[in-house]
Structure 1
Amino acid sequence: MPNITTETFHNGDLNKILETDERLLWSGAPGYGRRFLEVVGHERTILIAALFAIPVMWSSLVLISPDAQLSRKDATWVYGAVTLGLFANSLFLAGQRQYVLSTLAYFVTDKRALICRRGWNWRFGVRLYVVSCKHSATYPYSLIDTRPFPSLQIGTLLSVDQVQPFGWGLSHPGHSILRHRTTSNVTFDYIPDAQDVFELIQSMTGNQV
């Protein structure tokens, strides 16, 4: 979208981010997923698949013949390594999701919707990355049925334009792996008052719900 910009700031002074004649109407943050055990979206699917695969894998141990080329002892080592790998991957996904969602803040003004993301740059300096989505009467704003709270789509970026502090941008393991193949949806993730914010943005564009 041509009305979306990304900027980088050295500090989180909101007065420097907003224009002089811009009014702040709403602010918020993800209402779920900011804690380590608050699993969301596709991360939950991956976790359930791992929890199902591990016992199925170990149950096949009794099917290995004592005179097989791969002995039960060898299989135990392999199964153990796979189990540890799946466990480590689950911890990594949870940590990445918690890190991303814990550094997000959302704002709606009378001119645009903003996502602020604090993170390190490649020099390990802390920066504030801001995605600015100007209100548009033609953009198809939509509520996304995510659990436990809905998400609100406020814009679309080309994937190459997604802010990338320290290798991670706005995406996290709770999003679909296909979400950022060509474009990246810009969303307020898991906000309890998503319907109210949706109606607020629609009123700013002149489109009443």
Structure 2
Amino acid sequence: MDKKLDEQTEIDTLNKFYFDCKEQIINGIEYEACIKRPGIFTIKNSNGKVIYSHEDNPFNFEFSDFNGDGYSDILMNYVSNTPGIQELLLFNIQTDKFEFVESFNSYPNSKRINKSHFYYSYHGSGCADNDWGSELYKLTETNITLLGKIEGLGCLENDINGIYIYKVNKNDEKLLKYIKREQGYWKGKYDFIAEYWTKNHKMFE
């Protein structure tokens, strides 16, 4: 058989079958989390028992103490048109299991504010990130409560360009502030988002 054909067959096989496992000791128990393609994402405890499975395999994952309780959680990363899409599994010390956080994938690039239960996201909203958005939310156990939004518009040359800051209460959105800006990409938005939410997050409760 042709050598190049052999090499291509091996590459195709590696691309088709993918296996990645990581181990972590949490609360005195060793856990093994694995991506299997074909297959599903699984977490096993030290007894080899599957305590969690997820049919939608992530691109990759990491153990990380997301909520700052001193115990490792799992962040699953996905390839998407929106960078920073993740799913979150929080470790429950009472059950020694991982719990799925609903709607976490709606808050890309989430960052914790200091040592609080408040977090903020960032995502582009089109037009090469000239339009963008950020959400403030509170994480209580596995429940997310949306509290505020920042919407940045800078795509088109018109009178609505600028930054809109809203307070959110369930389905009700109240505009708190408008900051006029010119059309175009604004590289200072990341610092603005971080500073605004860090300074003002408590007023959104």
TM range (shorter): under 0.3
Q: TM-score, normalised by structure 1?
A: 0.24
**The structure with more strand, counted as a fraction of residues:** 2
